[in-house]
């Protein structure tokens, strides 16, 4: 299988199963397109008729091009066969997921009132609550007990707004550190915050203890303030941007700014570049998760605009890199040298199997987007998993098990998409969120183009 596309002046041919990327001229691009469907001589004749007026194209050149393509095919770099599928299926059939991460909902409460919030302004359509230390401690003990031989364990402090329960966050980190040597584990903590309560103490603690920090900002002031308002109905941009700038200036470790784009800011590239100009270099921008009847929901008509924005962003990033002011965009981080990871394709995002969300009262859910939906309650941190059949269903949320992924050219770069998005789009966590798939494939195309452009500059 091959995937061909043209972007930013490049003719790109991806050999799907080998992962080889070829930059070719337009003649070779057309010949590759017809190589397996049209016999040699008719194809050469058709290309002579199309390009015959060019001095550099004649029958001999086209014959040589055919032979080069044939040599690449013989070398397994073009039209290669799918050697992964049987290995994938066998590995998947034998795989037994082991818990490695928890999303601790330390606060089902928030000091913002974001209109598009999937968590219903932080309380997840339920009661407002803060996690006690005892519940959090039991959750960490549960993670240790069910993590098997895994050494690195991940805990994300989440909400609502986790800084509203800051003392418990600190106490739980301190407790986890006391358990590392006892159980031969290493905890890596992440904090996701809207920034209103960021101060020097939080910054210092995060530099010492947090492996990563996620800062929520949607971009330009008018975009951010339209939907991310405080409880008094006022925008939060002018409060949090200076706090984020001070935090990032002092940050010793990973961070990224995470934004959300909606129907109201389809020109989201402007927001990403705005955030870069504010001094933030590690950036992510996610499509809104919303019911279709919401005014900010993305529509089919929006899709071509979004594609254009992803392409524009890739070009702008290449330009900024050439000017010595590079930025990182989370969705363009692609490793063409190491190749796709088999484990990731089997495990998907890990929700419901390797990753669980814990409510303030200790109830377990597959991930934060399913919290407080009784159909997806999996147990609690005292009894453990009481619905193993639900975990088995989530285990099949990946590109190996999903028949819609079987012939997708991007399957080796994908973990199968978001189970929650699939559920909301199709009514089944093992279904497909086609809108998200198309955005993902566009991002992969852009990321491959950027790698090709960077390789040419080296």
Residue with tokens 């995002």: 349
Q: Which two tokens stand for residue 347?
A: 């495990």
pTM equals 0.92
pLDDT in tens, 114-134: 888 766 665 677 788 999 999
173-187, 242-256, 345-359, 443-457: least confident range: 345-359
CA terminus-to-terminus distance, the chain: 29
pLDDT in tens, 262-306: 999 999 999 999 999 999 999 999 999 877 888 899 999 999 999
If you average pLDDT over every residue of the chain, what do you get? Answer: 91
| Burial class of residue 171 (count of CB atoms within 10 Å of its CB; 0-12, 13-18, 19+) | middle
pLDDT in tens, 26-52: 999 999 999 999 999 999 999 999 987
- Letter string b/e over residues 55-80, b meaning 16 or more CB atoms within 10 A of that residue's CB: eebeeebbeebbeebeebbeeebbbb
- Adjacency order of strands within the sheet including 21-24: 2-7, 10-15, 21-24
Answer whether residue 216 shows pLDDT above 90.
yes
Q: Which residue has the higher pLDDT, 89 or 68?
A: 68
20-34, 92-106, 119-133, 424-438: least confident range: 119-133
% pLDDT > 90, the chain:
70
- Per-residue pLDDT, averaged over 88-110, amounts to 83
Answer whether residue 369 shows pLDDT above 60.
yes
Q: Sign of the CA dihedral 79, 83, 89, 92?
A: negative
| pLDDT band at 71; cut points 50, 70, 90 | very high
Q: Which pLDDT belongs to residue 411?
A: 84
CA atoms of 252 and 438, how far apart (whole Å): 36
59-74 vs 40-51: helix axis angle to the nearest 10?
Answer: 130
């Amino acid at each position: 299988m091959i995937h061909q596309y043209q972007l930013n002046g490049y003719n790109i041919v991806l050999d799907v199963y080998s992962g080889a990327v070829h930059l070719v001229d337009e003649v070779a691009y057309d010949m590759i397109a017809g190589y397996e469907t049209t016999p040699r001589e008719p194809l050469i004749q058709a290309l002579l008729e199309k390009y015959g007026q060019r001095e550099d194209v004649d029958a001999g050149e086209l014959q040589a091009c055919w032979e080069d393509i044939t040599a690449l095919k013989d070398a397994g770099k073009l039209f290669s066969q799918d050697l992964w599928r049987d290995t994938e299926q066998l590995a998947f059939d034998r795989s037994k997921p082991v818990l490695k991460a928890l999303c601790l909902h330390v606060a089902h409460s928030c000091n913002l009132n974001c209109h598009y919030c999937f968590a219903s302004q932080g309380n997840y359509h339920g009661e407002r609550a803060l996690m006690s230390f005892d519940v959090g401690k039991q959750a960490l003990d549960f993670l240790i007990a069910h993590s098997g031989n895994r050494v690195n364990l991940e805990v994300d402090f989440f909400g609502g707004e986790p800084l509203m329960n800051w003392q418990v966050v600190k106490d739980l980190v301190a407790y986890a550190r006391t358990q590392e040597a006892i159980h031969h584990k290493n905890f890596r903590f992440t904090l996701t915050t809207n920034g209103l309560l960021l101060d020097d103490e939080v910054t210092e603690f995060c530099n010492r203890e947090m492996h990563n920090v996620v800062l929520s900002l949607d971009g330009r002031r008018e975009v951010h303030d339209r939907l991310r308002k405080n409880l008094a109905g006022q925008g939060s941009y002018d409060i949090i941007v200076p706090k984020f700038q001070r935090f990032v200036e002092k940050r010793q470790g990973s961070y990224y700014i995470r934004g959300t784009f909606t129907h109201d800011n389809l020109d989201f590239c402007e927001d990403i570049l705005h955030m870069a100009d504010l001094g933030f270099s590690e950036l992510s921008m996610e499509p809104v998760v919303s019911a279709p009847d919401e005014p900010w929901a993305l529509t089919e008509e929006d899709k071509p605009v979004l594609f254009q924005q992803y392409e524009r962003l890739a070009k702008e990033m290449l330009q900024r890199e050439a000017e010595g002011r590079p930025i990182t965009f989370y969705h363009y981080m692609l490793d063409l040298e190491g190749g796709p990871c088999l484990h990731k394709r089997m495990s998907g995002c890990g929700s419901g199997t390797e990753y669980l969300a814990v409510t303030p009262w200790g109830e377990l859910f597959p991930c934060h987007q399913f919290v407080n939906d009784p159909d997806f309650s999996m147990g609690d941190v005292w009894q453990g998993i009481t619905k193993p059949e639900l975990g088995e269903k989530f285990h099949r949320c990946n590109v190996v098990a999903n028949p819609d992924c079987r012939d997708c050219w991007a399957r080796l770069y994908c973990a199968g998409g978001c189970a929650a998005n699939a559920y909301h789009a199709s009514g089944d966590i093992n279904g497909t969120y086609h809108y998200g798939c198309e955005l993902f494939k566009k991002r992969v195309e852009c990321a491959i183009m950027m790698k090709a452009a960077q390789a040419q500059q080296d």
